[in-house]
Amino acid sequence: MRILHVGWGYPPQWMGCGPVVYVHTLALAQKHAGDVAVVAVASDRTVDGAPYAPAVENIEGIPYVHLQNRPVKMHDFWNPGREASDPACEQAFAHLLREARPEVVHIHNFVGLSFGIVDVAKEFGARVVTSLHNYFPVCSRDDLFFGDVERCGGPRERSCSNCLGTLEGDDAYRARHGRAVGALDACDVLLAVSRRVAEIYGAQGVRTDHMAVEHIGSVTAERLWADMGRRRVEDARTGARADGPLRVAFFGSPTPRKGVVSFLQAVRQLGAPEQVEAQLYGGLSPQTAAHLEGLVQAMDPAHATRLSLRGGFSHPDLPRMLAGADVAVLPPRWEDNGPQTVLESLAAGVPVVATRLGGIPDFVDDGVNGILVEDGYPEQLAAAIDKLAGDRSLLARLRSGIRPPRTMEEHRVALADHYMA
């Protein structure tokens, strides 16, 4: 079977981005069963090159076609019409299809492209499968999180112009939304990465009769389970307990939607800070670092001294980071589709304290392998951390409730069924 994956970013430059890692490792798993290639939207520009000019690179045996000379690097907030339909993009994509002749076009991301590529693939005769990893088709900023402040019902309910700070009228964003819904409806299969994602897309007007929930596989999670997770879970089941302060970790993008401030507020409200060591991992711009350091300095010393800002990290750092954590605190404020940080934490044998949003409840079973709290209540996060710090038997029970992660091979087999149906 000839499979063409479509996404944004490519290795090794973007291997710190979860979706890029996922598409690449999926392609590696599939190449033994057929011909696999990836169309990777690139930010590169060439002198006097045509729009969306292709450049081919072989990465670990996978042909990557980089589309260069795009109008913008990523999102095009000021041009919702171009994201809806871009003839130059669609012509370039049609050319690629004639060259690669795929039987299946598997779209993972429309960022940097146009929703018109679905029509192009259908006209070519390929089976079109789209994985819903984010909310980009129904939200120009891709997260349904209004102005970095609150969850949003999309352009049919709120002003995209106000959220994005553009001069475009809201009708243009509503037209973009309608074009996206039509494109998704035209796909042969939609794969929601969690139950909540399926619900949200249905609420946005997308047909659900061709939609299935398909949890992704993760090679990173498999390795973490083999290297440390299985042993930690087995130790917990035999009664082994950790001593010393409870080591809690936040890791991911330190942005408002990821809940980094909620994490800091929880640390500030700990009832017994001397029983906790809190670590925050995430790449910080100078402005963000100064802001977070200011928040830490505003804490009283008893709490501030229990928190360390550890800076950025990459995938190779995960084993070290998670080996030094007893609990992962991951409190996103948006409907996080299917956060890989949760998959990776559990795979490392680390129970998760998280908000009850997005795809998290698909993986964190409250009271079994973690604790779920409501968004907007950092005191609930603090109470959960205090409870774990004061009751190590609870930590052991949660750790013993962790199950092995889904393998990429299991995911590959499931996708093969969707490709053939």
pLDDT band at 44 (very low <50, low <70, confident <90, very high): confident
Nearest to 344 by CA among 325, 322, 366, 327: 322
Round to whole Å and give the CA distance between 296 and 298. Answer: 5
Q: Is the pLDDT of residue 242 over 80?
A: no
Q: What are the tens digits of pLDDT across the range 125-177?
A: 999 999 999 999 999 999 999 999 999 999 999 999 999 999 999 999 999 99
Give the model's pLDDT for residue 313: 84
Round to whole Å and give the CA distance between 19 and 43. Answer: 16
Q: What are the tens digits of pLDDT across the range 341-357?
A: 999 999 999 999 999 99
Give the model's pLDDT for residue 416: 95
For residue 248 the two structure tokens come to 């809690």
Instruction: Give whole-number Cα distances, 80 to 67, 137, 178, 242, 289, in Å.
Output: 20, 11, 11, 53, 32
Relative to beta strand 246-251, strand 276-281 is parallel
CB atoms inside a 10 Å sphere around CB 300? 9
pLDDT band at 47 (very low <50, low <70, confident <90, very high): low
Q: For residues 110 and 82, is the Cβ–Cβ distance under 8 A?
A: no
Domains and CATH numbers, the chain: 2-217+408-420 (3.40.50.2000), 219-400 (3.40.50.2000)
Q: What are the tens digits of pLDDT across the range 353-410?
A: 999 999 999 999 999 999 999 999 999 999 999 999 999 999 999 999 999 999 999 9
pLDDT band at 282 (very low <50, low <70, confident <90, very high): confident
Give the model's pLDDT for residue 11: 86
pTM of the model: 0.95
Give the model's pLDDT for residue 356: 97
Q: What are the tens digits of pLDDT across the range 91-134?
A: 999 999 999 999 999 999 999 999 999 999 999 999 999 999 99
Q: Is the pLDDT of residue 42 over 80?
A: no
Residue whose structure tokens are 């670092």: 289
Give the model's pLDDT for residue 70: 86
Q: For residues 338 and 216, is the Cβ–Cβ distance under 8 A?
A: yes
Can you spell out the DSSP letters for 234-285?
HHHHTT----SSEEEEEES--SGGGTHHHHHHHHHT-S-GGGEEEEEE----
Q: 62 has which bridge partners?
A: 59
Give the model's pLDDT for residue 213: 97
Q: Is the pLDDT of residue 297 over 90?
A: no
Round to whole Å and give the CA distance between 248 and 276. Answer: 7
Average predicted confidence (pLDDT) for the chain: 93
